Amino acid sequence: MICPRLRWPILAAALCLTMLTSGCATQTPVRPALQEKFGSDETFSRLMAAPPAQSCEAARRALLSQGYILVTTTPDLIDAKKSFQPAPESQLEMMIRVVCLPETPADQLSLVFVTAIQDSYALKKSNTSASVGLGGIGSVSLPFSSSSDALVKVGSETISSDKFYDSFFDLVRRYLVDDAPKAE
């Protein structure tokens, strides 16, 4: 038999424990949403009426015209990046990769693939303190008002906006037309 004084606290504890465990049992585990769908849409690629080297040159010029810094350039590959600061304590970095491949054996058509990744950074502050070891007494931690700031990556996303890629490929086509050999 349970002492009457202990009965209510035990019942309250059992009720809390039951509520906590039943809440956990009804929750389903969080799974990452699979967003990848392979299809024939042309968000990330376009067919260009130029050899791969000429298509990549037009893409290089398009990126340079928009303020991108070229990281890697070869005749068939370009990596470029650009930084944005939308707020005082955040930063975005856009990384674009362009790959130009031949579509026909004569290399007169090329398939241009583009992928843009946007990384998000936030300013994180951390306070610092100092520890001083005193012989015989031990160590003493002394807080002081210094703090260090660091940009920490908080997110990364592949851009999938059709409008973004359409505008990029339109600009590449403009540079292809501008660079086309003139008939005399």
Q: Which residue bears the tokens 């362009």?
A: 98
Q: Is residue 48 part of a domain?
A: yes
Statement: residue 80 has pLDDT above 80: yes
Q: Is residue 19 part of a domain?
A: no
Which span out of 1-5, 63-67, 120-124 was modeled with the highest average pLDDT? 63-67
Average pLDDT over residues 60-80: 97
CATH number at residue 56: 3.30.310
Q: Is residue 62 part of a domain?
A: yes
pLDDT in tens, 89-147: 999 999 999 999 999 888 889 999 999 999 999 988 876 666 666 666 666 666 665 56
Q: Is residue 148 part of a domain?
A: no
Q: Assess contact for 69 and 20: CB atoms under 8 A.
A: no
Q: Is residue 139 part of a domain?
A: no
Q: Is residue 90 part of a domain?
A: no
Q: Report the b/e string of 69-99 with b at 16+ CB within 10 A.
A: eeeebeebebbbbeeeeeeeeebebbbbbbb
Q: Is residue 8 part of a domain?
A: no
Q: pLDDT category, 171, cuts 50, 70, 90? A: very high
Range of 179's domain? 42-82+98-114+156-184
Q: How many domains does the chain have?
A: 1
Q: Is residue 178 part of a domain?
A: yes
